[in-house]
Amino acid sequence: MTLTIATSVDQAIALLASGARPIAGGTDLVVGARQGKAPLPDQLVAIDRIAELAELTSTDSETRIGAGVTHARLMTDGLIIERHTAIADAAALVGSPATRNVGTLGGNVMNGSPAMDTGAPLIVMGAEAELRSADGTRRVTMGDLWTGPGQISARDDELCTSLVIPAGGPGSGSAYVRLEYRRAMEIAVVGAAAAVTLSDGVLTSIRVALTAVAPVIIEIGDLDNLIGGAPDRALHGAVAAAARDQATPISDLRATDEYRRHTIGVMAARAVDAAARRAAGEQIPVPVNRSLGIGAAQ
């Protein structure tokens, strides 16, 4: 087994082409190996010292988050909190401060777990992953990237360099909430992200995506009929019903399918509520889970 510490994207890509696997924070890869889930790959290329991957830049129309940006940075970065609040909500819930220090957005995305927290926020914001290989660069939507639990459509020789996210317009707000049994060190039992836009108190766009209720993170379809309505209880109810309807949860150690189906409705409604309140200008600090006492009244 070997590990090479890469300092440039080109070097990393060359190593990937010769069969190496990338390691960023290692919080999925090494922990998984330690638990015996999957052995470590024979050749590793460490990508955490590649400056380019740690860049976080923005224009008026989009935000580009380097794949190597850590959760710790995402949850405190002013631009992310302002524009892509749901991502900050999600990043702030990942593991512990130590996990967030080294764990990266790229690692979260490329690990492809249906319980990953940044996935639903990325979907509702219409993010795309930029993949680079010796053959060139391409972009894929999150929906196209994730193909099954722990499975992604990216090729082994492709490095995810960044996540590109359209900037939300005025009146937009987003939030991510998850069900957790304790206030830290949890994996989402279920979770939901919402991004909405309000104009004069009326909904002009809404997207909702769900965590841990299907083989991949899924977006709730057919919400367009809700546009034009107010962000009220009826809306929450409609979103909850749609979430329960479209979820295909399984039973496992953490929850039964029945309980997941029920709570995904609760989470979806809460995400929409928080997103709409943010869209209306209310300051709900990141992460929503802790500031609203999600999981239990304060």
Partner 1 sequence: MSLTEIPAFARADGPDKVSGLGRYTADLTLTGMAHAAFRYADVPHGRIVELDTSPARAMSGVVAVITDADVPDIYLSAEIADRTLFARDVVRYEGEVVAAVAAVTPEIARAAAAAIVVRYEVLPAVTDIEAALGENSPLVHESWDSYATSGDVVRDRNTAMRSELHRGDADAAMATADVVVSGRYVADASHAVPIEPRAVVAEWQGDHLTVHTSTQVPFDARSRICETLELPTSRVRVIVPHLGGGFGGKCGAHFEPHIAALAKVAKRPVKLVFSRYEEFIAPDRRREGMIVDVATGVKHDGTIVARAAWLGIDNGAYMADATFFPQLAAMHVAGPYRTGSLKIEADLVYTNRQPSGSVRAPTAPQACWAIESHTDEIAVALDMDPIEFRRRNLVATGDVGPMGQVYDEIGALECLELATASAQASADQKPLGPDEALGVSMGWWPTFAVAAGAFAKMHADGTVQLVTGGQECGTGAVMTLRNLAADELGIDPELIELVYQDTAVAPEGPGASGSQTLLNHGRAVEVASQQIAAQLRELAADHLEAAPEDIVLAESKASVAGAPAASVAFTELVERAGAELLGTASVEMPEYPELPTSSTCIGDQGMGAWLAPQFSCHVARVAVDRDTGVVRVSEVHTAHDSGTIINLMGAHGQVEGGVLMGVGQALTEGTRYDDEGRQRNAGLLEYKLQTIADAPSIHTQFVEIATPNAGPRGAKGLAEAPNVATAGAIANALAKVIGQRVRELPMTAERVWRAQTADQSSTTTEQDQS
Partner 2 sequence: MNPSSPMSPSSPMSQQINLTVNGMTWPVAVETSRNLCSVLRTEIGLTGTKEGCDDCECGACMVLLDGQPINSCSYLAAQADGREITTVEGLADGDELHPLQRNILSAGGVQCGFCTPGMLMSAYALLDRNPEPSIEEIRIGLSGNLCRCTGYARILTAVHETAVELNGA
Ligand X SMILES: Cc1cc2nc3c(=O)[nH]c(=O)nc-3n(C[C@H](O)[C@H](O)[C@H](O)COP(=O)(O)OP(=O)(O)OC[C@H]3O[C@@H](n4cnc5c(N)ncnc54)[C@H](O)[C@@H]3O)c2cc1C
Binding track over 126-165 against partner 2, x by CB under 8 A: ----------------------------------------
Q: Are 188 and 212 in contact (CB under 8 A)?
A: yes
DSSP H/E element including 268: helix 257-279
* 24 is a site residue for ligand X (CB under 6 A): yes
DSSP letter at 41 equals P
Q: Which does 120 bind (CB under 5 to 8 A by kind): partner 2, ligand X, partner 1, none?
A: none
> What residue has token string 């080109």?
10
Q: Are 208 and 240 in contact (CB under 8 A)?
A: no
Tokens of 284: 């709900």
Tokens of 6: 């890469």
CB of 128 to partner 2, least distance (A): 29
CB of 295 to partner 2, least distance (A): 14
Residue nearest to ligand X (CB): 107
Comparing CB distances to partner 2, the nearer of 61 and 298 is: 298
C-alpha torsion sign, points 106, 109, 110, 113? positive
Q: What is the DSSP string of 82-95?
A: HH-HHHHHHHTTSS
* 106 is a site residue for ligand X (CB under 6 A): yes
Instruction: Using DSSP bridges, classify how beta strands 159-166 and 172-178 pair: parallel, antiparallel or unpaired.
Output: unpaired
As to burial, measured by CB atoms within 10 angstroms (0-12 exposed, 13-18 middle, 19+ buried), residue 51 is exposed
Residue in 3, 31, 51, 202 binding ligand X, rule: CB under 6 A: 31
Comparing CB distances to ligand X, the nearer of 180 and 205 is: 180
Binding track over 36-55 against ligand X, x by CB under 6 A: -----------x--------
Q: Are 177 and 290 in contact (CB under 8 A)?
A: no
Residue in 7, 11, 101, 133 binding partner 2, rule: CB under 8 A: 101
Q: Which does 46 bind (CB under 5 to 8 A by kind): partner 2, partner 1, ligand X, none?
A: partner 2
Contacts of 119 by beta carbon, 8 Å cutoff, 6+ apart: 108, 109, 142, 146, 209, 211, 217
As to burial, measured by CB atoms within 10 angstroms (0-12 exposed, 13-18 middle, 19+ buried), residue 57 is exposed
CB of 157 to ligand X, least distance (A): 10
Residue numbers of the site for partner 1 (CB under 8 A)? 35, 179-185, 187, 253-256, 259, 262-263, 266, 293-298
Comparing CB distances to ligand X, the nearer of 76 and 204 is: 76
Residue in 72, 120, 123, 187 binding ligand X, rule: CB under 6 A: 187
Cα dihedral value 54, 207, 255, 251, nearest 10:
-100
The site for partner 2 (CB under 8 A) is made up of 1-3, 5, 23, 26-27, 30-31, 33-35, 40, 44, 46, 48, 72, 95-99, 101-102, 183-185, 290
Residues that bind ligand X (CB under 6 A): 21-29, 31, 47, 67, 93-95, 99, 102-104, 106-108, 110-111, 116-117, 159-160, 187
